Amino acid sequence: MQPSAGLPSRPASADLPHTRTRPVHWLATTAALAAVLGGAALIQPAGATATPPVAARHAPDRAAVPVPEGAPDAAEADYPLDCGGGGVQVLEDGASDLDGDGREETVAVVRCEAGMGTPPSGVYVLTHAADPGYPPRVLETLVDPAEGMTVTDLAVAGRTVSATLLGYSSKDVPRCCPDRRRAVKWQWQDGKFRLTALPVTRSV
């Protein structure tokens, strides 16, 4: 894309800031996820468009900007995670030219590193920074760790991103054992990602 556009098992210690999560009700979570990912949270940054005007694409000053080769490196990106001073762990990543502009984007599943427990996952779409001297930037958030879910089975191909979300049906379900599973996919259509979710499976 052009620059102009876990669920944690309950940790043994509740004092680790990056492993504390609030109980998540699966139905409320998936409803919120569908609403958010269907539009609001996937709105591109202010001033950005998925496909810049023709005049902007052919502006003379852009010709002098070198085009980075290859997909962004997921390990080098700066993710919007508060890990309490700890590091960020990249669990899975994949690359494809999702918007068809001739440049590959990277999709990464990440979480905060933890000595124990399983912090929730986030899923981010990365693009190269406008300045080649800067690390890849987050273009879209597909799954926010605040939703308290674990993300597995990431696959990136063509203009489609697919994954499996694991969550809890209620606060009474042990944090070690998610009991809800939902397969989802996002497809780049008409300048934005569109979410499709399969029915929730009641047990993992």
Which helix or strand (DSSP H or E) is residue 111 part of?
Answer: strand 105-112
One-character DSSP codes across 128-142: --SSTTS--EEEEEE
What is the DSSP secondary structure assignment for residue 61, as one 8-state letter? H
Query: How do residues 136-150 score in pLDDT, each as one tens digit?
Result: 999 999 999 999 899
**Mean of pLDDT values over 20-28:** 46
**Mean of pLDDT values over 36-61:** 40
Of 48-62, 83-97, 119-133, 166-180, least confident by mean pLDDT is 48-62
Partners of residue 183 on adjacent β-strands: 164
Most confident of 63-67, 169-173, 181-185: 181-185
Per-residue model confidence (pLDDT) at position 118: 81
Classify 197 in phi/psi space as left (phi over 0), alpha (psi -120 to 50) or beta: beta
Q: Report the predicted TM-score, pTM, of the whole model to 2 decimal places.
A: 0.68
| Residue environment code for 113-143, b if the CB has 16+ CB neighbours within 10 A, otherwise e | ebeebbbbbbbbbbbbbeeeeeebbbbbbbb
Place of tokens 């920074």: 129
